[in-house]
Structure 1
Amino acid sequence: MNHSVRKAGWVALMAGALLVGGGACGGDDSPSSDGGMQADAGTPPDAGTKLPAEEGRALAVSNGGLVVVGSTEANLATTGVDLLVRRYTASGEVDTSFGTQGSVVLDFEGPAKGPISGQREQDDRADTVAVLADGSLLVAGFARGGSASDSRDFAVVKLKANGQLDTSFNKTGRSRLHFGEDNAVDFVGTLRSILPLADGRFYVGGFLTKSDGLDEDFAVIRYNADGSLDTTFKSAGSPSGSWIGGAYTDAEAVQGMVLQGSSVVLGGGDHFAAVRITSSGSQDLTFGTSGLAKSEGGQAHALVARPNGGILLAGERQDVQVGGTKHGVLKLVAYTADGKPDVTFGPAGVRELTAPAGVLDVVDVSGLRIQADGKILVYADVYAKPVLFRLQANGDLDTSFGVDGMVRWPETQLAVPLFIRSTTGPKLALLGNQAFVTDANIYASGFFPDENARLLLKSTGL
């Protein structure tokens, strides 16, 4: 069943005890990829074999293996780009007990309601995944709304632990949320974060914008466990079941969500914005300044909770003058639990890394984790060269980690986890506080995180 809502107006890093909770990366929003994930991770394809282009967008640990979600062009001529879910074993091989020979491919079948054009069906993509306590999976992203436009609807799928659609969820195992009038292609949206609740309900967050793309707004939806919209979650000016933050003029996108009691804090996008939404669906205007926390300059792509009850956002700020030259720099912003700048972390709660020279020219940040000892791990793309930073709790580089607080490896231009590809070049594994580099194409179980681990990820967005 499709909900219709009216509204006015992988380079991947394996990480023991690391997290970007199965969420989506920042950066590219193109609906397809020419990346090319191997169908069988352990065996190189025969010469001349052309596999469908696939792109991994998010990761999660499930049943001792690794679930990768994203998109595939396997059925490009007939259904367009389809949503893809695949599970790998701990040794990096395709888990054939999952779905159909290891994969689930889903097509959302064109516009939400009624024909829009005679062209082929439209593109679908998964941008985030969460594993529930019973092993089932929630997968979310977008379903494209019309071939003559870039319109996109919110898409959510629930799979059983074995990869089969859970038909107790919205009767079909999938839900599509369309904004605007029936058949209209006025809105673009995608979901980048999932936050399950203890009672079975869950939040999904992302952004929504008019198809002209001039302004992206925070969007958070609350679903009941059965896949129906939770209409007790409501806010003036937003459809029931949702909170759409249309009061700001910058590009805001939910890159992470954190529970604070019964409220949810969400943040990401321009100026490291964050807001707090009550369980009833209204914006908490006591948070930050008049309901909004922000730090001028740059864009945040990840959010985590801090041990003191506050939140930390990581991203980058471009065109920072260092030695008379403009650079992109890693920027972290710490807020208190109430959305005020945490001045114990840095002036105005901000740390921008401008030294040593090796930290400069950060172009994209997509991974963030606070370790049990309080140290901060940040994953960034530095002109196509993956870099992992480790910082002290106060934001200083931890110079005992790697070289000057950084672990680097060569340019890859791959959009899928290296350890499940038959390819040469180093692979980085993180276990606890130690980093290892291996040239093995298939990771042994000793390199794979345990069930309680999460994975730090990066999609290059080819």
Structure 2
Amino acid sequence: MTHATKAAFESLEGRKLFAAAGDLDAAFGTGGRATINFPVVTQPANSDFADRGVELFSLDSRNGLTVVAGDHRTGSLEAGPTFDDRELALARLDASGQLDPTFDGDGVLYSPVLRSVVDIYVQSDNGILVLGSTVAAPEGSFLARFTPAGTLDTAFGGGDGIVAFDFTATNVDQTPEGKIVVSGSAFSQAQSQDVLVAARLLSEGALDASFDDDGVAETPFAFGSGAFLAIQPNNGKVLLATSVVRQPTPVEIDGSLIRLNLNGNPDSTFSGNGQAFVNSEQIDDVAGIDVGTTGDIFVALGDTRPTKTVLTKVSSGGSQGLLFEALDANALINDIQAAFDTSGKVLLFGRVEATPGASDFKDAVIRYNGDGTLDRTFGTSGKGYIFNEGETGESANAFLGDLQADMRIVSARGDLAASGSYSVTITRRLSTGDVPPVSPPTSPPPTSPPTSPPPVSPPPVSPPTSPPPTSPPPVSPPPPVGATQGTLSGTLTTKLPAGLIGQQKLVGGKVIVAVTNPTTSLVKGKTTFSLSVSADATLDSGDAAVVSRQQNLKLKPGQTRNVKLPVKLLPIGTAGTYQLLARITAPDQTTTDVAGGTTFSVAEPVVDLSSAIDRGITGTVAVGAKAAVKMSVQNLGNVPAKGPLTAAIFASTDNTSSSDDVLLVSKSGNVAIKPGKSKSFGLSFRVPANLPAGTYYLTAKADTLSAFAEPDEANNIVVSSGTFTVG
């Protein structure tokens, strides 16, 4: 970077003639930065509802497309605000730093498939593996796969796009041959401690039986803090890392590295038993691992106080080698990337003190040479690290990094504003110097750069590459209902099923509004889309509000763009015939109401259980003898029967059910019986002593505790056609 210089005839005014290593990449976003504006969801009928935004948890930019993942958090504004409702949020930027419209229509998506995310991996076809938990099982771990277009890949897993694990999973990676590896921890009954665990899956999501026989390897090595994962690129062996206490008094924490063979067993060629330790100081808190092109393992150390050492190297045989040059200030590291070219350089992402010793940490990117020295050509300070310019302090919840195939450096920062809302900013830097700058602007640049990156406006679905055609613009949609025509027009392109049941969850979880600019002028600015459900074709105050979303739009004359409104449930309380209505409020505050065009009917949700005896008792049985009955319970309703169910078998002296019948056996448990489906119960018992000798019918009863409200309780009881004898 050149400094202010005067020539004989021209002042360069401090302009940069050539870019330097670590400089912001002007070809990305705006001046090297892009802010992702995730959609803001509102509930007009619920004044207590609030959208806190997206909390960043993971980044992947290996294929040139930048994918970030986090938790979309919503909840209550009441005293002591809570934002416990979470769902998966994904966004993808194209190579230029714009939201990618080929990903779910506008580059972003919310999905209730996962409640919270811990890691992602973008595959070579741009499919996205997402590791996290679900609403139904917040303590469990699940791996979902999304297609490059942003839909759940039902070819993955058991047909629903999801694979479940019985251990706490933290990281996901992929072997050179395309197998998927997930790392984590689990409690070992045999060892009476938490241990490191790795699972390996085939590409379609099935557990790989060639890996420790069942696809899951429970290692003999203790889990402490973190379960980091890397794959050796030359042979596909699995590397795991954690931090363990090796000496309680005085406390000594070392990094523990584990290497597994392709069959899932510990690799005895790695430090003798498959485990190697990192011991560079009293506290060696592992913050991440990566593998270089030579097979060496780079270990990032999280809290560098007091030695300021942030990086060490372990050989492919498991011996600790080079301890990298210490920084001039304390640092807190949370991500690492080893260059996959021949340079041998290593990047660390974290926080470094702006003033050594002052604990005023700021986000920074650190680069080392392969010989262990700080790369002082990186940035202009000569220190080997670059602060994230334009930021006022350390990141609120995450500062992550990745390397693209051309070695450009991508980082993602998660912020928490004073208002309590999260945001995500992406930065891309050049890896090498002497790169000619992009074409100079036609007017002088501003004298002071902006203090924060301007937001990314989602690009149009089909950006024009040539002057607009001379043919007339597309025909505008039919006149709206319930309001005068505003600046923008639109249509509801999502067709609902002809019949819905109560507040049935919508397949796909979204409604699409195609919004058009029918004017001859550019329309640009914040546009609000509100969706309601109505019993007629007119939008009024009595209609139930579904969702409202505000989005920055930029529409050229005649241009149409699809806007997704996330919808989980339609707030319909009673049966009837309804239709969807949308209101579009343009930047100039004019409104347009849009009808869905077709109606749909809603039926009351009903659970109706019916019992049957599939196998009874025949002949004569003695008191105390073993007997078994098989009964089934069918759901004749239109919604799943979910909850506790008790099934019971009685002995009756006649073919009717009464309070005099003798209980033979009962069984309780939680069920989830879909409409039209049945659940069988095998009920074994001994003939009770209080059953006198005689002839009996069997009576089967479902839901004896009345846990389900049903329109017909009579069919919960069935009496056998035949009899049995006690004698």
Common fold: TM-score over 0.5: yes
Match of 1:154 among 88, 111, 114: 88
The answer on whether the counterparts of 2:298 and 2:313 sit within 8 Å (CA) in structure 1 is: yes
The answer on whether the counterparts of 2:70 and 2:117 sit within 8 Å (CA) in structure 1 is: yes
> Is the partner of 1:361 in helix, strand or coil?
coil
Partner amino acid, structure 2, of 1:126: L
1:326-348 CA distance string (max 9 Å, x none): 32210101011222111111354
1:162-216 CA distance string (max 9 Å, x none): 222111111121122214xxxxxxx74114222322xx24232322156996x34
Distance 1:204 1:146, change over 3 A: farther
Counterpart-to-counterpart distance in 1, 2:217 and 2:288: 21
Counterpart-to-counterpart distance in 1, 2:44 and 2:375: 52
TM-score normalised according to structure 2 size: 0.41
Distance 1:377 1:141, change over 3 A: same
For residues 200-239 of structure 1, the aligned pairs below 5 Å read 200-208=125-133, 215-217=139-141, 219-235=142-158
1:276-329 CA distance string (max 9 Å, x none): 112222222442253322334224443222233311112211x3227x533221
Name the residue aligned to 1:126: 56
The answer on whether the counterparts of 1:278 and 1:284 sit within 8 Å (CA) in structure 2 is: yes
For residues 54-93 of structure 1, the aligned pairs below 5 Å read 92=22
Counterpart-to-counterpart distance in 1, 2:130 and 2:22: 30
1:277 paired with 2:201, answer yes
Aligned residue pair count: 345
Name the residue aligned to 2:119: 192
Deviation at 1:434, TM superposition (A): 3.8
Match of 2:301 among 360, 380, 399: 380
> Is the partner of 1:146 in helix, strand or coil?
strand
1:334 paired with 2:253, answer no
Deviation at 1:95, TM superposition (A): 4.8
Name the residue aligned to 1:435: 373
Counterpart-to-counterpart distance in 2, 1:427 and 1:230: 35
Distance 1:139 1:266, change over 3 A: same
Please list every run of 5 or more consecutive structure 2 residues that lacks an aligned counterpart in the other structure: 4-18, 77-81, 187-194, 336-347, 357-363, 387-402, 417-727
Distance 1:166 1:243, change over 3 A: same
> Is the partner of 1:435 in helix, strand or coil?
coil
1:137 paired with 2:66, answer yes
Counterpart-to-counterpart distance in 2, 1:114 and 1:330: 51
Counterpart-to-counterpart distance in 2, 1:456 and 1:95: 10
Q: Sequence identity, in percent?
A: 21
The answer on whether the counterparts of 1:331 and 1:350 sit within 8 Å (CA) in structure 2 is: yes
1:99-153 CA distance string (max 9 Å, x none): 3553223224248x998772431231333333364x3322222212434343322
Counterpart-to-counterpart distance in 2, 1:195 and 1:338: 25
> Is the partner of 2:310 in helix, strand or coil?
strand
Please list every run of 5 or more consecutive structure 1 residues that lacks an aligned counterpart in the other structure: 1-41, 43-88, 180-186
Distance 1:414 1:257, change over 3 A: closer
Name the residue aligned to 1:320: 246
Match of 1:107 among 11, 21, 38: 38
Counterpart-to-counterpart distance in 2, 1:419 and 1:233: 34
Distance 1:427 1:281, change over 3 A: closer
Match of 2:211 among 279, 284, 287: 287
For residues 233-248 of structure 1, the aligned pairs below 5 Å read 233-235=156-158, 240-245=160-165, 247-248=166-167
1:98 paired with 2:28, answer yes
Deviation at 1:432, TM superposition (A): 2.9
Distance 1:382 1:269, change over 3 A: farther
Identify which of structures 1 and 2 has the higher relative contact order when contacts are C-alpha pairs closer than 8 Å and 6+ apart: 1
1:205-247 CA distance string (max 9 Å, x none): 322156996x342x32222221111111122xxx7112121x2
Counterpart-to-counterpart distance in 1, 2:241 and 2:304: 17
> Is the partner of 1:122 in helix, strand or coil?
strand
1:362 paired with 2:284, answer yes
Q: Which moved more, 1:370-379 or 1:204-213?
A: 204-213
Distance 1:96 1:146, change over 3 A: farther
> Is the partner of 1:368 in helix, strand or coil?
strand
> Is the partner of 2:84 in helix, strand or coil?
coil
> Is the partner of 1:273 in helix, strand or coil?
strand
Partner amino acid, structure 2, of 1:252: A
Counterpart-to-counterpart distance in 2, 1:361 and 1:460: 27
Counterpart-to-counterpart distance in 2, 1:457 and 1:226: 23
> Is the partner of 1:302 in helix, strand or coil?
strand
1:349-389 CA distance string (max 9 Å, x none): 11233x5xx433123x2332222222221101136555201
Name the residue aligned to 2:314: 391
Counterpart-to-counterpart distance in 2, 1:292 and 1:420: 35
Counterpart-to-counterpart distance in 1, 2:228 and 2:408: 15
1:406-431 CA distance string (max 9 Å, x none): 74553245989889999345985312
Match of 2:228 among 285, 302, 308: 302
Select the structure of larger CA radius of gyration. Answer: 2
Partner amino acid, structure 2, of 1:432: G
TM-score normalised according to structure 1 size: 0.62
The answer on whether the counterparts of 2:304 and 2:332 sit within 8 Å (CA) in structure 1 is: no
The answer on whether the counterparts of 1:419 and 1:442 sit within 8 Å (CA) in structure 2 is: no
The answer on whether the counterparts of 1:116 and 1:146 sit within 8 Å (CA) in structure 2 is: no
Deviation at 1:275, TM superposition (A): 0.6
Deviation at 1:390, TM superposition (A): 1.1
Partner amino acid, structure 1, of 2:169: E
Name the residue aligned to 1:63: none
Distance 1:418 1:127, change over 3 A: closer
Name the residue aligned to 1:257: 173
> Is the partner of 2:316 in helix, strand or coil?
coil
Name the residue aligned to 2:268: 343
The answer on whether the counterparts of 1:420 and 1:442 sit within 8 Å (CA) in structure 2 is: no
The answer on whether the counterparts of 1:125 and 1:142 sit within 8 Å (CA) in structure 2 is: yes
